[in-house]
Amino acid sequence: MNDLVRLVGLAQPLVSKHLRVLREVGLVGVREEGRQRMYSVNGQLLKPIHDWVKTYERSWSKRFDRLDVVLEELKEMKEDDGGKDE
């Protein structure tokens, strides 16, 4: 829990509240280890959301791959101009 609070950068009660909701829907599991509570993420449940966004993400990746090519050309043009833009 202390690790989570540090990583997320939110107040401990707020982190607890989020964790409780995530546990209720099964996205997060918890087990006691001595005085510590160990939390784990159930990635399988997140997969449908990941899959849903993936196709959209892919279309942006393809778009940006082409933008990379344009940018490389712009950089070369700039060098040919002796550092001037256009």
Binding interface with other proteins (CB under 8 A)? 52-53, 55-72, 74-75, 78, 85
Kindly report the backbone phi and psi dihedral angles of residue 43, in degrees, each rounded to the nearest multiple of 5, phi listed first.
Answer: -60, -30
Instruction: Report in angstroms how near the CB of residue 34 gets to other proteins at its nearest.
Output: 32
Nearer to other proteins (CB atom), residue 2 or residue 59 = 59
Instruction: Report in angstroms how near the CB of residue 54 gets to other proteins at its nearest.
Output: 8
Instruction: Report in angstroms how near the CB of residue 77 gets to other proteins at its nearest.
Output: 9
User: Residue 83, by phi and psi: left (phi above 0), alpha (psi -120 to 50) or beta?
Assistant: left
Nearer to other proteins (CB atom), residue 26 or residue 64 = 64
Tokens of 3: 């690790």
Whether 13 contacts 32, CB under 8 Å: no
Residue 3's alpha-carbon distances to 18, 28, 39, in angstroms, are 15, 15, 10
Nearer to other proteins (CB atom), residue 24 or residue 65 = 65
